[in-house]
Structure 1
Protein backbone atom coordinates (compact mmCIF):
# COMPACT_ATOMS: atom_id res chain seq x y z
CA UNK A 1 0.00 0.00 0.00
CA UNK A 2 1.26 3.47 -0.90
CA UNK A 3 1.34 6.22 1.68
CA UNK A 4 -1.07 9.03 0.91
CA UNK A 5 0.03 12.64 1.21
CA UNK A 6 -1.96 15.75 1.99
CA UNK A 7 -0.39 19.21 1.60
CA UNK A 8 -1.77 21.66 4.17
CA UNK A 9 -1.36 25.39 3.70
CA UNK A 10 -0.89 27.22 6.99
CA UNK A 11 -1.32 30.98 7.33
CA UNK A 12 -0.48 31.51 11.00
CA UNK A 13 -4.13 32.24 11.82
CA UNK A 14 -7.48 30.60 12.42
CA UNK A 15 -8.01 29.62 8.79
CA UNK A 16 -4.79 27.63 8.80
CA UNK A 17 -5.68 26.03 12.13
CA UNK A 18 -9.03 24.91 10.68
CA UNK A 19 -7.27 23.52 7.60
CA UNK A 20 -4.85 21.58 9.83
CA UNK A 21 -7.70 20.19 11.96
CA UNK A 22 -9.58 19.02 8.86
CA UNK A 23 -6.50 17.49 7.23
CA UNK A 24 -5.58 15.74 10.49
CA UNK A 25 -9.01 14.10 10.63
CA UNK A 26 -8.68 13.03 7.00
CA UNK A 27 -5.21 11.59 7.64
CA UNK A 28 -6.50 9.60 10.61
CA UNK A 29 -9.30 8.16 8.46
CA UNK A 30 -6.86 7.24 5.68
CA UNK A 31 -4.45 5.81 8.29
CA UNK A 32 -1.33 5.54 6.10
CA UNK A 33 -1.06 9.25 5.38
CA UNK A 34 1.61 11.90 5.70
CA UNK A 35 0.81 15.57 6.19
CA UNK A 36 3.10 18.13 4.58
CA UNK A 37 2.45 21.32 6.54
CA UNK A 38 3.49 24.36 4.54
CA UNK A 39 3.91 27.99 5.54
CA UNK A 40 4.99 30.37 2.80
CA UNK A 41 6.33 33.85 3.37
CA UNK A 42 5.43 35.79 0.26
CA UNK A 43 8.62 37.10 -1.27
CA UNK A 44 9.10 38.89 -4.54
CA UNK A 45 12.33 38.10 -6.36
CA UNK A 46 11.85 41.17 -8.54
CA UNK A 47 13.84 43.91 -6.91
CA UNK A 48 16.79 45.89 -8.13
CA UNK A 49 19.11 46.56 -5.23
CA UNK A 50 22.75 47.10 -4.49
CA UNK A 51 24.87 44.18 -3.32
CA UNK A 52 24.76 45.57 0.24
CA UNK A 53 20.97 45.75 0.11
CA UNK A 54 20.81 42.19 -1.23
CA UNK A 55 23.04 40.99 1.61
CA UNK A 56 20.71 42.59 4.16
CA UNK A 57 17.69 41.19 2.33
CA UNK A 58 19.15 37.69 2.50
CA UNK A 59 19.79 38.11 6.24
CA UNK A 60 16.18 39.29 6.80
CA UNK A 61 14.93 36.37 4.74
CA UNK A 62 16.78 33.86 6.91
CA UNK A 63 15.50 35.56 10.07
CA UNK A 64 11.92 35.42 8.76
CA UNK A 65 12.25 31.71 7.95
CA UNK A 66 13.59 31.00 11.43
CA UNK A 67 10.80 32.98 13.12
CA UNK A 68 8.14 31.27 11.01
CA UNK A 69 9.50 27.85 11.96
CA UNK A 70 9.51 28.77 15.64
CA UNK A 71 6.18 30.62 15.86
CA UNK A 72 4.00 28.84 13.31
CA UNK A 73 5.46 25.59 12.06
CA UNK A 74 6.84 24.01 15.23
CA UNK A 75 3.54 24.33 17.16
CA UNK A 76 1.56 23.00 14.17
CA UNK A 77 3.90 20.02 13.75
CA UNK A 78 3.68 19.29 17.49
CA UNK A 79 -0.12 19.40 17.41
CA UNK A 80 -0.26 16.92 14.53
CA UNK A 81 2.44 14.57 15.84
CA UNK A 82 0.80 14.55 19.29
CA UNK A 83 -2.25 13.13 17.48
CA UNK A 84 -0.10 10.28 16.18
CA UNK A 85 0.25 11.59 12.63
CA UNK A 86 3.29 11.53 10.37
CA UNK A 87 4.13 15.13 9.60
CA UNK A 88 6.74 17.22 7.84
CA UNK A 89 6.90 20.99 8.29
CA UNK A 90 8.05 23.10 5.36
CA UNK A 91 8.71 26.85 5.48
CA UNK A 92 9.59 28.69 2.28
CA UNK A 93 9.70 32.11 0.69
CA UNK A 94 7.87 32.69 -2.57
CA UNK A 95 4.46 32.62 -4.19
CA UNK A 96 2.04 30.73 -1.94
CA UNK A 97 -0.15 29.12 -4.60
CA UNK A 98 2.80 28.10 -6.77
CA UNK A 99 4.70 26.58 -3.85
CA UNK A 100 1.69 24.62 -2.54
CA UNK A 101 1.03 23.22 -6.01
CA UNK A 102 4.71 22.47 -6.65
CA UNK A 103 4.94 20.57 -3.36
CA UNK A 104 1.75 18.67 -4.16
CA UNK A 105 3.37 17.56 -7.42
CA UNK A 106 6.72 16.78 -5.80
CA UNK A 107 5.16 14.55 -3.13
CA UNK A 108 2.39 13.12 -5.36
CA UNK A 109 -0.18 14.50 -2.93
CA UNK A 110 -3.80 13.49 -3.19
CA UNK A 111 -4.99 16.96 -2.23
CA UNK A 112 -4.15 20.41 -0.92
CA UNK A 113 -6.09 21.69 2.09
CA UNK A 114 -6.28 25.42 2.80
CA UNK A 115 -8.44 27.75 4.85
CA UNK A 116 -10.90 29.95 3.01
CA UNK A 117 -9.93 33.22 4.65
CA UNK A 118 -6.36 33.98 5.56
CA UNK A 119 -4.91 36.88 7.48
CA UNK A 120 -5.37 39.26 4.55
CA UNK A 121 -9.14 38.99 4.42
CA UNK A 122 -11.99 37.75 2.35
CA UNK A 123 -11.80 40.29 -0.48
CA UNK A 124 -8.32 39.24 -1.58
CA UNK A 125 -9.11 35.57 -1.16
CA UNK A 126 -12.24 35.81 -3.29
CA UNK A 127 -10.79 37.97 -6.04
CA UNK A 128 -7.40 36.65 -6.99
CA UNK A 129 -5.95 35.47 -3.70
CA UNK A 130 -4.20 32.20 -2.99
CA UNK A 131 -7.35 30.14 -2.50
CA UNK A 132 -8.92 31.26 -5.75
CA UNK A 133 -5.72 30.68 -7.71
CA UNK A 134 -5.37 27.18 -6.26
CA UNK A 135 -9.00 26.33 -7.02
CA UNK A 136 -8.49 27.35 -10.65
CA UNK A 137 -5.00 26.09 -11.42
CA UNK A 138 -3.95 23.35 -8.99
CA UNK A 139 -2.75 20.04 -10.36
CA UNK A 140 -4.54 18.14 -7.55
CA UNK A 141 -7.91 18.58 -5.83
CA UNK A 142 -8.10 21.51 -3.41
CA UNK A 143 -10.18 21.37 -0.26
CA UNK A 144 -11.11 24.83 1.01
CA UNK A 145 -12.12 24.92 4.66
CA UNK A 146 -14.58 27.62 5.76
Structure 2
Protein backbone atom coordinates (compact mmCIF):
# COMPACT_ATOMS: atom_id res chain seq x y z
CA UNK A 1 0.00 0.00 0.00
CA UNK A 2 1.34 3.42 -0.89
CA UNK A 3 1.37 6.56 1.19
CA UNK A 4 -1.18 9.20 0.28
CA UNK A 5 -0.65 12.96 0.65
CA UNK A 6 -3.36 15.61 0.32
CA UNK A 7 -2.17 19.01 -0.93
CA UNK A 8 -4.50 21.96 -0.47
CA UNK A 9 -4.02 24.66 -3.10
CA UNK A 10 -5.30 28.20 -2.83
CA UNK A 11 -4.76 29.42 -6.39
CA UNK A 12 -1.99 31.80 -5.27
CA UNK A 13 1.79 31.62 -4.93
CA UNK A 14 1.48 30.07 -1.50
CA UNK A 15 -0.16 27.04 -3.12
CA UNK A 16 2.91 26.66 -5.33
CA UNK A 17 5.05 26.39 -2.19
CA UNK A 18 2.80 23.63 -0.82
CA UNK A 19 2.97 21.82 -4.16
CA UNK A 20 6.77 22.02 -4.28
CA UNK A 21 7.05 20.62 -0.75
CA UNK A 22 4.60 17.80 -1.54
CA UNK A 23 6.63 16.91 -4.62
CA UNK A 24 9.83 16.75 -2.59
CA UNK A 25 8.19 14.66 0.14
CA UNK A 26 6.57 12.28 -2.36
CA UNK A 27 9.91 11.72 -4.07
CA UNK A 28 11.52 10.93 -0.70
CA UNK A 29 8.74 8.52 0.23
CA UNK A 30 8.82 6.68 -3.08
CA UNK A 31 5.56 4.74 -3.29
CA UNK A 32 3.25 7.69 -2.89
CA UNK A 33 0.06 9.15 -4.36
CA UNK A 34 -0.56 12.88 -4.24
CA UNK A 35 -4.11 14.22 -4.20
CA UNK A 36 -4.18 17.88 -5.29
CA UNK A 37 -7.27 19.60 -3.87
CA UNK A 38 -8.79 23.03 -4.39
CA UNK A 39 -11.75 24.01 -2.22
CA UNK A 40 -14.16 26.66 -3.45
CA UNK A 41 -15.45 28.44 -0.35
CA UNK A 42 -19.18 27.86 -0.28
CA UNK A 43 -21.41 28.44 2.68
CA UNK A 44 -24.70 26.55 2.81
CA UNK A 45 -25.96 29.29 5.13
CA UNK A 46 -25.70 32.25 2.77
CA UNK A 47 -28.88 34.17 2.08
CA UNK A 48 -29.80 34.39 -1.58
CA UNK A 49 -32.62 35.64 -3.72
CA UNK A 50 -34.90 33.23 -5.60
CA UNK A 51 -33.04 34.06 -8.82
CA UNK A 52 -29.68 33.27 -7.22
CA UNK A 53 -30.98 29.95 -5.92
CA UNK A 54 -32.15 29.04 -9.43
CA UNK A 55 -28.62 29.62 -10.75
CA UNK A 56 -26.78 28.07 -7.80
CA UNK A 57 -26.15 24.65 -9.31
CA UNK A 58 -25.00 26.14 -12.60
CA UNK A 59 -22.58 28.49 -10.81
CA UNK A 60 -21.19 25.62 -8.74
CA UNK A 61 -20.47 23.55 -11.84
CA UNK A 62 -18.84 26.56 -13.54
CA UNK A 63 -16.65 27.22 -10.50
CA UNK A 64 -15.55 23.58 -10.34
CA UNK A 65 -14.69 23.57 -14.03
CA UNK A 66 -12.78 26.85 -13.81
CA UNK A 67 -10.82 25.76 -10.71
CA UNK A 68 -9.90 22.45 -12.35
CA UNK A 69 -8.74 24.20 -15.51
CA UNK A 70 -6.81 27.06 -13.91
CA UNK A 71 -5.45 25.61 -10.67
CA UNK A 72 -5.70 21.83 -10.31
CA UNK A 73 -4.99 20.53 -13.82
CA UNK A 74 -1.72 22.49 -14.20
CA UNK A 75 -0.57 21.31 -10.75
CA UNK A 76 -1.45 17.69 -11.55
CA UNK A 77 0.39 17.92 -14.89
CA UNK A 78 3.47 19.38 -13.19
CA UNK A 79 3.65 16.54 -10.65
CA UNK A 80 2.82 13.88 -13.23
CA UNK A 81 5.64 15.18 -15.45
CA UNK A 82 7.95 14.50 -12.49
CA UNK A 83 6.88 10.86 -12.51
CA UNK A 84 4.54 11.01 -9.52
CA UNK A 85 1.13 9.38 -9.16
CA UNK A 86 -1.35 12.26 -8.90
CA UNK A 87 -5.07 12.97 -8.87
CA UNK A 88 -6.90 16.28 -8.79
CA UNK A 89 -10.11 17.23 -7.05
CA UNK A 90 -12.24 20.36 -6.62
CA UNK A 91 -14.95 20.58 -3.95
CA UNK A 92 -17.22 23.25 -2.52
CA UNK A 93 -17.33 23.92 1.21
CA UNK A 94 -15.35 25.14 4.16
CA UNK A 95 -11.65 24.75 3.39
CA UNK A 96 -10.57 23.21 6.71
CA UNK A 97 -13.55 20.87 7.02
CA UNK A 98 -13.33 19.76 3.39
CA UNK A 99 -9.59 19.05 3.40
CA UNK A 100 -9.94 17.16 6.67
CA UNK A 101 -12.89 15.12 5.37
CA UNK A 102 -11.08 14.29 2.12
CA UNK A 103 -7.98 13.17 4.01
CA UNK A 104 -10.13 10.86 6.15
CA UNK A 105 -12.05 9.45 3.17
CA UNK A 106 -8.84 8.85 1.24
CA UNK A 107 -6.91 7.44 4.23
CA UNK A 108 -4.23 10.06 3.69
CA UNK A 109 -1.17 10.17 5.90
CA UNK A 110 -0.75 13.93 5.81
CA UNK A 111 -2.21 17.23 4.59
CA UNK A 112 0.14 19.84 3.13
CA UNK A 113 -0.89 23.49 2.85
CA UNK A 114 0.94 26.79 2.72
CA UNK A 115 0.75 29.73 5.05
CA UNK A 116 -1.16 32.59 3.51
CA UNK A 117 0.06 36.14 4.01
CA UNK A 118 -3.18 37.79 2.94
CA UNK A 119 -5.65 39.38 5.36
CA UNK A 120 -5.23 40.92 8.80
CA UNK A 121 -2.50 40.38 11.35
CA UNK A 122 -4.09 37.24 12.81
CA UNK A 123 -4.43 35.72 9.32
CA UNK A 124 -0.78 36.48 8.56
CA UNK A 125 0.35 33.98 11.17
CA UNK A 126 -1.27 31.03 9.37
CA UNK A 127 -4.51 32.12 7.75
CA UNK A 128 -7.91 31.34 9.24
CA UNK A 129 -8.50 28.24 7.10
CA UNK A 130 -5.03 26.93 7.83
CA UNK A 131 -5.26 27.46 11.58
CA UNK A 132 -8.70 25.80 11.65
CA UNK A 133 -7.27 22.86 9.71
CA UNK A 134 -4.30 22.49 12.05
CA UNK A 135 -6.63 22.47 15.06
CA UNK A 136 -9.22 20.05 13.65
CA UNK A 137 -7.58 17.60 11.23
CA UNK A 138 -7.31 13.97 12.24
CA UNK A 139 -4.00 13.57 10.38
CA UNK A 140 -0.78 15.60 10.61
CA UNK A 141 -0.84 18.94 8.80
CA UNK A 142 2.33 20.41 7.38
CA UNK A 143 2.22 24.19 6.92
CA UNK A 144 4.80 25.46 4.44
CA UNK A 145 6.09 29.03 4.66
TM-score, normalization: structure 2?
0.92
Q: Deviations over 1:13-45 (max 9, x none)?
A: 111100011011111111110001000010011
Q: Trace 1:110-129 onto structure 2 (pairs within 5 A).
A: 110-117=109-116, 120=119, 123-124=122-123, 126=125, 129=128
Residue 122 and residue 104 in structure 1: after superposition, are their counterparts in 2 closer, same or farther (change >3 A)? farther
Does residue 102 of structure 1 match 2:101? yes
- How far apart, in 1, do the equivalents of 2:120 and 2:70 lie? 21
5+ long unaligned stretches in structure 2: none
Does residue 140 of structure 1 match 2:136? no
Residue 128 and residue 145 in structure 1: after superposition, are their counterparts in 2 closer, same or farther (change >3 A)? closer
* Structure 1 position 119, deviation (Å): 5.2
Q: Deviations over 1:41-80 (max 9, x none)?
A: 1001113445542121221111111111110011001000
Q: Who is 1:55 aligned against? A: 54
Check whether the contact 1:111–1:141 (CA below 8 A) recurs between aligned residues.
Answer: yes
Q: Who is 1:46 aligned against? A: 45
- How far apart, in 2, do the equivalents of 1:45 and 1:125 lie? 27
Does residue 30 of structure 1 match 2:18? no
Over the residues paired in the alignment, what is the CA RMSD in angstroms? Answer: 1.8
Check whether the contact 2:117–2:123 (CA below 8 A) recurs between aligned residues.
Answer: no
Q: Deviations over 1:84-143 (max 9, x none)?
A: 000010001100000110111111111000001165566325377111111111100000
Check whether the contact 1:16–1:118 (CA below 8 A) recurs between aligned residues.
Answer: no
Number of matched residues?
A: 145
5+ long unaligned stretches in structure 1: none
TM-score, normalization: structure 1?
0.91
Residue 77 and residue 23 in structure 1: after superposition, are their counterparts in 2 closer, same or farther (change >3 A)? same
- How far apart, in 1, do the equivalents of 2:141 and 2:121 lie? 18
